[in-house]
Amino acid sequence: MRKNLFLALCALVTCVFVLGPVVVAQEKTVVNFFHTFWVPAMLELLEKAIARYEQENPNIDIVETRVSWTDAPSQLMTSIMGGTPPDIVVANPPMLAQLRGAGALADITDFIPEDLKTRFLKTAMDIMTNQEGRIDGIAEEGCTWALFYRKDIFEEAGLDPNHPPADWNELVEFGKKLTKDLDGDGNVDQWGYGWPVQAENATDYWENFLWQAGSEVVAFENGKWVSKLTEKEAIEGTQFMVDLVRKHRISPEGLVDMNWEDVTNGFVFGKFAIMYNGAWVVFSIHQKGPEIEGKWATSLLYAGPAGRVNRGYPNTFNILKASKVKKEAWNFLEFLYRKGPDERLSYIERIAEAAGALIWTDHYMEYARETYEPLLQPFIEATAYAKVPPMAPQWQTLCDMFGDPAIQALLLGQRDVEGTLKDLEEKFYILHAGR
């Protein structure tokens, strides 16, 4: 037996001298990346970034899972519940609220260097920071909302085409002058104001009216989520929204059947003289309405009693608590923010530019002010007035199940404001029981 062992050792030594040292392949660390990037130019930049990162870090494999925004929430929850969660996810604010409420996110406060942290705008820091004051995400591409108005229709109504409504009073005043029966058949053909109220949009845009009236909507107090929906500010904001349709009649009941694209089409074809919509709509109007080029403009949203507030929506990168490669996952994210295909912008900034979106940092806003077209400038300025959707864990569930149909019923005159808000508040507490 000793002889056989001696011969085996001799053979191994001979092999080492003849063939060289035995090389044991190092197993690579896999970082699973769940994202919703879909614009071809965004994906092309992402692939280049991943290829460069893997070349610089040969022991890392970045494995992508691409999903649509529609499928992302359910697919992500399925993977988490099934025990196969990704390491990095892209989340919009409602997804972030649900993941945060479920305790699914890793604390990355100590990963983020101070110089990177200080780049972000206040709105971005607000969404990156959880209720305990810890950072569990990093803001990436997103957009703001602002006002669109038809300069040509303003002139026809005797209004200054360079003076969009500055506050609630002017919105009503201008809206009445812009709402017309153009062909004399007794039906309104041109409305003063429009915004999306179809099922998936109703509560999204309702929130603006609440904020502008001074409502917090919901708040995290003494370790739990509380509703502000029955306070006078929420009542005032909701009532003003309803009055635009029911009392002032500058907006049609038909808004309940319109999503953002329907309202955009109405704007292009002259059905709406003013609309409230997202930044991506600028590109949509360029495509849909070349005949109205030069005849429309954008501006900051009008102010309410509590001042100017508009919707802001920075999405986030998050590392899941279940990840076993948190440090490697963070290193890849930091690479996206620090390295780039050129000297001017990082990879994540170029990805945002490809989507016509914004990265919520001082550096990118400076770049956007220099390079984005004039019609997009109000959306850049709107970051200073931006509020993110309520971050209560079950807020989106409340909106989907009860809020959207309730807002539609209000605009159709089927419900009263105070009773509706009381009912929504009760359901809010049922959904957040024990939180």
Do 184 and 288 share a structural domain?
yes
pLDDT of residue 211: 98
What are the tens digits of pLDDT across the range 373-419? Answer: 999 999 999 999 999 999 999 999 999 999 999 999 999 999 999 99
Query: Is 177 contained in some domain?
Result: yes
Query: Is 20 contained in some domain?
Result: no
pLDDT of residue 199: 83
Query: Is 183 contained in some domain?
Result: yes
Do 228 and 357 share a structural domain?
no
Query: Is 17 contained in some domain?
Result: no
Query: Is 6 contained in some domain?
Result: no
In sequence order, what E strands does 293-411 have?
296-299, 310-319, 386-387
Structural domain for 222, as ranges: 146-311+391-431
Amino acid letter, residue 257: D
What are the tens digits of pLDDT across the range 168-207? Answer: 999 999 999 999 999 999 999 999 999 999 988 899 999 9
Task: Report the domain count for the chain.
Answer: 2
Query: Is 14 contained in some domain?
Result: no
CA–CA distance, 132 with 124 (Å, rounded to integer): 16
What are the tens digits of pLDDT across the range 2-58? Answer: 334 334 434 433 434 344 444 445 689 999 999 999 889 999 999 999 999 999 999
- Global pTM value: 0.89
Do 221 and 357 share a structural domain?
no
Do 424 and 295 share a structural domain?
yes
What are the tens digits of pLDDT across the range 128-179? Answer: 999 999 999 999 999 999 999 999 999 999 999 999 999 999 999 999 999 9
Residues 6+ apart with CB under 8 A from 285: 148, 264, 267, 268, 292, 296
pLDDT of residue 26: 63
pLDDT of residue 11: 43
CA–CA distance, 212 with 167 (Å, rounded to integer): 10
Do 215 and 161 share a structural domain?
yes
Residues 6+ apart with CB under 8 A from 237: 209, 210, 211, 212, 213, 214, 215, 304
Where residue 193 sits, what CATH number does that domain have? Answer: 3.40.190.10
Contact 113, 60 (CB under 8 A): no
CA angle centred on 172, ends 168 and 176, rounded to 5°: 165
Do 412 and 353 share a structural domain?
no
pLDDT of residue 27: 85
Query: Is 414 contained in some domain?
Result: yes
Query: Is 250 contained in some domain?
Result: yes
Do 244 and 101 share a structural domain?
no
pLDDT of residue 434: 52
Do 317 and 202 share a structural domain?
no
SS3 of residue 393 by DSSP: coil
What are the tens digits of pLDDT across the range 349-374? Answer: 999 999 889 999 999 999 999 999 99
Q: What is the mean pLDDT of residues 108-133?
A: 94
How would DSSP label each residue in 172-217? HHHHHHH-B-SSSSSS--BEEEE---STTTHHHHHHHHHHHHT--S
Do 221 and 196 share a structural domain?
yes
Do 54 and 35 share a structural domain?
yes
Higher pLDDT, 204 or 435: 204
Q: Is the pLDDT of residue 230 over 70?
A: yes
Q: What is the mean pLDDT of residues 88-110?
A: 95
Do 171 and 133 share a structural domain?
no
Do 152 and 120 share a structural domain?
no
- End-of-domain residue from the set 387, 406, 422: 387
Phi then psi for residue 140, to 5 deg, are -125, -150
